[in-house]
Amino acid sequence: MTLGERYTDVYPGNLVYRCTLGDGTAAVIKSEPDRPGDDEFLPGIDALQLYGGRGMARVLRADRDRRVVLMERVLPGEPLWRATIEHALEAAAFVMSRFRSPPPEAHAFPDVRGYHRAWPSHVQLYGGSGLLDADLFEIGERVFLELCDSSAAPVVLHGDLHYGNVLSSERDGWLAIDPKGLIGEACYEVGDLLRNRLDELFATADARGAMRRRVEMLADLTGFDRERVRLWGLAQAVLTAIWADEARRASGRDMRAARLLYGIGPLG
């Protein structure tokens, strides 16, 4: 193997390099430190191996003990950040349609419902909603629990399907990278697509209407219920705002997304 350029836009502590194998195959090698209580690396490898290249990059070799994985390099590898939103949602929906495998009988994938702990943890830390909008904080928790209680049969999810984690692929049109590996209903996957690329919505004369069109477009492309798409987007926007606030990375973006999703009202 010949190491190439290091990827710099990665989570702190992770090491990710382009590399070339002896037969000329373009690959990526990645290592993550052990983060007790918050390990997304091993479930991510499990998700990649479960799907075996269907909708995701292929694993070429993995050493779980050393926390290193060698994967195919997705080429040409252009992310969806700069694609038109219509094209980006079509591509993401195409990839999302591949993630329908139920969890294996014996597995270590965390359940989406476990993320609910963010709300009581935040209250314990700040004595309430802290700097977050109190009404949306409470609405987000209620909606999150209602969605979990009424979820369809669980599948193995990517769990972090934003526009930077879907890349153009010569092999299969579009492929996802860097999964978290979660179990939950398939509609959960839409959340990242609604709280990102937010500036484009506010650049229009009617940001709320633009968000509604994005929700409706995503529902039409995936076949998911429109209201369920809206509510998963709302709950996850609040959840992400909680995480960002506790990590001192709060930007207000996620709460703005939550406010838009709440403001468009129920969709029949």
Domain of residue 24, CATH code: 3.30.200.20
Residues 15 and 119 in one domain: no
Query: Which residue, 49, 76, 103, sits at the end of a domain?
Result: 76
Up-side HSE of residue 245: CA atoms within 13 Å toward CB? 24
268 within a domain of the structure (yes/no): no
CA angle 119, 201, 259 (to 5 degrees): 30
Residues 124 and 183 in one domain: yes
Alpha carbon 159 to its chain's center: 4
State how many domains the chain has: 2
For residue 254, the domain's CATH number is 3.90.1200.10
What is the identity of the amino acid at 260? L
Within 10 A of 237 (CB to CB), how many other CB atoms are there?
A: 26
- Walk along the chain (268 residues) and give the pLDDT tens digit of each residue: 999 999 998 888 899 999 999 999 999 999 998 887 678 899 999 999 999 999 999 999 999 999 999 999 999 999 999 999 999 999 999 999 999 999 999 899 999 999 999 999 999 999 999 889 999 999 999 999 999 999 999 999 999 999 999 999 999 999 999 999 999 999 999 999 999 999 999 999 999 999 999 999 999 999 999 999 999 999 999 999 999 887 777 678 999 999 999 999 999 7
- Domain ranges, residue 29: 2-76
Long-range contact set of residues 6-12: C-beta below 8 Å, sequence gap at least 24: none
226 within a domain of the structure (yes/no): yes
Q: Return d(Cα 84, Cα 67) in angstroms, integer.
A: 36
24 within a domain of the structure (yes/no): yes
234 within a domain of the structure (yes/no): yes
Nearest to 211 by CA among 256, 154, 170, 168: 256
* 7 Cβ contact list (under 8 Å, min separation 6): 16, 17, 18, 28
Residues 102 and 71 in one domain: no
* 108 Cβ contact list (under 8 Å, min separation 6): 42, 43, 46
Question: Tokens 């990517």 correspond to what residue?
Answer: 158
Q: Return d(Cα 55, Cα 58) in angstroms, integer.
A: 9
Residues 69 and 96 in one domain: no
Residues 182 and 119 in one domain: yes
pTM of the model: 0.95
Query: Which residue, 23, 42, 76, sits at the end of a domain?
Result: 76
